Homo-oligomer: A and B are copies of this chain.
Amino acid sequence: MDARDLLTIGEVVQRSGFPHSALRYYEREGLVSATRTSGGQRRYERGVLRRLAFIRAARAIGVGLDDVREALDRLPAGRTPTRGDWTRLSRAWRGLLDEQIEALVALRDGLDSCIGCGCLSLARCRLMNPGDRAAAQGAGARLLPAALRRS
């Protein structure tokens, strides 16, 4: 790996769109890594850009960093991940994405009939049912809206 192939943090900022603070944070959190110059400055391999793209996509879907790290950890160590490796990873998010879309569509379809009508006594509403565990628990549901969490 020629040194000329390595990117400074500034270049990664430019090309990834993430601010340097986020890059350092991701490094602390073990989502990306960088080698260092003798003076201690970060030098990134090109591949980091793809990791960052993946992170951005995952975050956009609402996946937490822990899950992102877990996914990235499943990439083959040692060799550069192939196209196929990435495809496999993104397929996992795709199921999640499908679920979310489905949930949102259900919410949309229910919105008029549910909020608009009298059913919001809440007791029996299919959508807003308080029996909904995820909603009632309250504690763990941050990033993903309650309606979107699986169980």
Contact = CB atoms under 8 A, between A and B. Distances in A.
B86 A111 contact: no
B107 A57 contact: yes
User: For the complex, would chain A's binding face be called helix, strand, loop or mixed by DSSP majority?
Assistant: helix
Copies of this chain in the oligomer: 2
Contacts of A123: 15
Interface string A113-131: 0111110111101011111
Interface string A1-41: 00000000000001111110010000000000000000000
A60 B108 contact: no
Given A97-B108, A101-B104, 8 more contacts: A17-B136, A18-B138, A22-B138, A53-B115, A57-B128, A60-B148, A101-B101, A101-B105
17 contacts: A15-B130, A17-B135, A19-B136, A50-B120, A53-B122, A53-B128, A56-B146, A57-B128, A60-B145, A61-B145, A61-B147, A89-B115, A94-B108, A97-B107, A97-B108, A101-B104, A143-B143
